[in-house]
Amino acid sequence: VHNNPVVTLLDYGAGNVRSVRNAIRSLGFDIKDVQSPKDILNAERLIFPGVGAFAAAMDVLTQKGMAEALCTYIKNDRPFLGICLGLQLLFESSEENGPVNGLGLIPGVVGRFDSSNGLRVPHIGWNALQLMKNSEILNTIRNNHVYFVHSYRAMPSDDNKDWVSSTCNYGDNFIASVRRGNVHAVQFHPEKSGGTMLLFLDCTSGQVIACLDVRTNDEGDLVVTKGDQYDVRENTKENEVRNLGKPVDLAGKYYRDGADEISFLNITGFRDFPLGDLPMLQVLRYTSERVFVPLTVGGGIRDFTDGSGRYYSSLEVASEYFRSGADKVSIGSDAVYAAEEYIRSGVKTGKSSIEQISRVYGNQAVVVSIDPRRVFLKNPDDVDFKTVRVSNPGPNGEEYAWYQCTVNGGREDRQIGAYELAKAVEELGAGEIMLNCIDCDGQGKGFEIDLIRLISDAVNIPVIASSGAGKVEHFSEVFKKTNASAALAAGIFHREELGIGSVKKHLSNEGIEVRLTPY
């Protein structure tokens, strides 16, 4: 019998470590899960992919007696790799919901990035490392470009300079990795950094995201579909759901083509209970086995009572998505209700899906998907919502517009604008905004620049521009004219009118930094 070498994995159950598991397996290791402190002490090599919030992780580690075992293991210079929060926990304390004490192995306090001068937080994206000392694990990363997603970071100082093996610049120079003897920890996500097979040529400021709208067709098969202003049915007598392919296959193709992230939207999630929708969970499981860039999933994230009266919180729904392989969840309708309630009462109840999920999994795991419709106005004072002077006047010469939010896949209008919603959800703890526009969806005429500029200037969290891409120039336009961090498209990729590679090549030629892949 051939036994694979074993990696011991410390997974305390607070989030998605599926991609770490898959990456470990793809390198030919078997995984042994830590059940007790003894498993830590006996590990031959230990990987600790920290997920969730600092305080919650420390609580679990302390309660289970694992904090002490970890300290002993690390002090004995046993082979160790901490990832993300698995790096932060090694420090003395964190300001995240704190101060909260950490394991205290490395001098320093983990603090939040300072967003007061316009820096977007969380820091999400591919960035270059500045190597400070030799660390074999960094040598496997070509051109030093790696994927980060975090709001908190530790800073290099005289006290911890023995540890720091690389730094990265985002607003300030923070610790990207540490190394002492056999102990390694990284703030970035090696399991999401394309593996060693990807050639990173430059650092990103424009990310390209492929979006897969998924739903069950009339035959009961889960298909990737695509709307025309959100109408996904064909214009035929049968009126069938447009079918553009299989979700797992397409996600794999887009990953190989160089997508920086893949989004799945379960577009009928607002009416079907997603935990009843096992195929979607299966899609995530399969995809995360072969796609090593971040996966976002949305649709139906809200509190729910099923047919038998069993209540599920939105947190439970999201947890199931994370366990199945999602890195982030995207909330549509429920974010609108939460924002309306927050604006009305001025009170953060802590109970909304955004607050619950970000508290446990961190802000960077919570995306809010906005589905606005443009409403032209003759006079900006006609509404109480934020308006813009439009670049292209409306059908009756209107020079202004506001962007009205909708719920249930655009089926119901609400009395809240995209601007008001974006500000409110940022305050409630959303870490990113996926900004669609129903008018532009599927039209191929370009992104709604006025809207994207309005929102990307209004918030400090990253904004993904979505809806309307039809040619490569639309991508460069949105990065040049707005502060969007990423551009998302669906139809043109599904219909193979444009490849992700050619979009990135164009962006690069236009002087916009992208992560290029060797394919």
Which residues are tagged catalytic? 84, 189, 191, 213, 371
Decide: 213 and 224 in contact? Cβ < 8 Å: yes
100 is a site residue for ligand 1PR (CB under 6 A): no
442 is a site residue for ligand 1PR (CB under 6 A):
yes
Q: Which long-range contacts (CB under 8 A, 24 or more apart) does 287-291 make?
A: 287/247, 287/248, 287/251, 287/252, 287/262, 287/325, 288/18, 288/19, 288/22, 288/324, 288/325, 288/326, 289/22, 289/325, 290/22, 290/248, 290/252, 290/255, 291/251, 291/252, 291/255, 291/262
Return the range that interacts with ligand 1PR (CB under 6 A); candidates 65-73, 140-148, 434-442, 503-511: 434-442
Q: In sequence order, what are the residues at sequence separation of 6 or more whose Cβ sits closer than 8 angstroms to the Cβ of residue 222?
A: 214, 215, 216, 247, 279, 280, 283
436 is in an annotated binding site: yes
- Does 251 bind ligand 1PR (CB under 6 A)? Our answer is no
Q: Which of 52, 82, 194, 332 binds ligand 1PR (CB under 6 A)?
A: 332
Segment near ligand 1PR (CB under 6 A); pick from 43-51, 192-200, 296-304, 422-430: 296-304
Q: Is 333 in the site for ligand 1PR (CB under 6 A)?
A: yes
Contacts of 398 (CB under 8 A, 6+ apart): 376, 377, 378, 390
Angstrom distance (rounded) from CA 85 to CA 185: 9
Distance CA 517, CA 272 (A): 38
Which structure tokens are listed for 408?
Answer: 């249930």
Q: Is 421 in the site for ligand 1PR (CB under 6 A)?
A: no
Tell me, by CB under 6 A, how many residues bind ligand 1PR: 32
Contact with ligand 1PR (CB under 6 A): which of 300, 362, 372, 462?
300
Give residues 467-506 in contact with ligand 1PR (rule: CB under 6 A). Answer: 467-469, 489-491
Question: For residue 329, what are the β-bridge partners?
Answer: 297, 366
Q: Which residue has the closest beta carbon to ligand 1PR?
A: 409
Among 320, 355, 371, 450, binds ligand 1PR (CB under 6 A): 371
CB closer to ligand 1PR, 165 vs 314: 314
CA gap 124, 128 in Å, rounded? 13
Residue with tokens 């906005």: 370
For position 127 contacting ligand 1PR by CB under 6 A, the verdict is no
Check whether 300 is labelled as a binding-site residue.
yes
Query: Binding site for L-glutamine: residue ranges?
Result: 84
Instruction: Give the binding site for ligand 1PR (CB under 6 A).
Output: 211, 213, 226-227, 230, 232, 265, 267, 269-270, 298-301, 330-334, 369, 371, 409, 436, 441-442, 466-469, 489-491
Query: Binding site for substrate: residue ranges?
Result: 300, 436
